[in-house]
């Protein structure tokens, strides 16, 4: 049984069929959001704040193919901007705080939320690229 694998039904699949079989994107994206390898979910995805590892330590998946580029930054701005825009509207209309106080607090929350969310969005984009076999994955 060279270059073949048994499926759940017991039939054999060739290596080319395995490579072309669809990957489940939902678990991959959840693993990416947790900053884990999209394939195994065990190894770390990033080696520093935003640097993607060349390969997974656990399963050996090559991760250097990713082309996340500006996508994670756009997603972060989209999410943080919409959520905090809504929060700003609610806080300003209901509490009427001093404008300087509101600006300082909202700026701090915006920066903190963006810094926390950016690596997770990078993990999401890399995992999505892996699941959809984009850019050599």
Give the helix/strand (H/E) hosting 95: helix 71-95
Determine the average pLDDT of the residues in 61-80. 96
Q: d(Cα 16, Cα 56) in Å, to the nearest integer?
A: 22
**Stated pTM of the model:** 0.82
Report the C-alpha gap between 24 and 120 in whole angstroms: 19
Instruction: Give the per-residue pLDDT at 22.
Output: 85
pLDDT of residue 131 exceeding 50, the answer is yes
Binned at pLDDT 50, 70 and 90, residue 135 comes out as: confident
CA dist 35 and 120 (Å) reads: 6
- Does residue 80 surpass a pLDDT of 80? yes
Average pLDDT, the chain: 90
- In this prediction, residue 121 carries a pLDDT of 98
Cα distance between residue 36 and residue 124, in whole Å: 10
State how far the Cα of 27 lies from the Cα of 24, in Å rounded to an integer.
6
Taking CA atoms, 118 is separated from 5, 28, 72, 107, in Å, by: 38, 17, 6, 16
- pLDDT average, residue stretch 122-136: 94
């Amino acid at each position: 049984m060279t270059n073949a694998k048994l499926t759940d039904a017991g039939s054999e699949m060739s290596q080319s069929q395995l490579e072309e079989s669809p990957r489940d994107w939902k678990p991959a994206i959840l693993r990416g959001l947790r900053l884990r390898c999209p394939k195994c979910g065990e190894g770390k995805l990033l080696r520093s704040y935003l640097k993607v590892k060349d390969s997974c330590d656990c399963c050996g998946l090559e991760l250097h193919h990713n082309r996340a580029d500006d996508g994670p930054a756009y997603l972060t701005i989209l999410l943080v901007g919409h959520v905090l825009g809504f929060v700003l509207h609610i806080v300003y209309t209901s509490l009427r705080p001093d404008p300087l106080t509101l600006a300082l607090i909202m700026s701090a929350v915006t920066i903190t939320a963006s810094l926390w969310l950016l690596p997770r969005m990078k993990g999401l984009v890399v995992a999505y690229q892996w699941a959809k076999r984009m850019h050599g994955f």
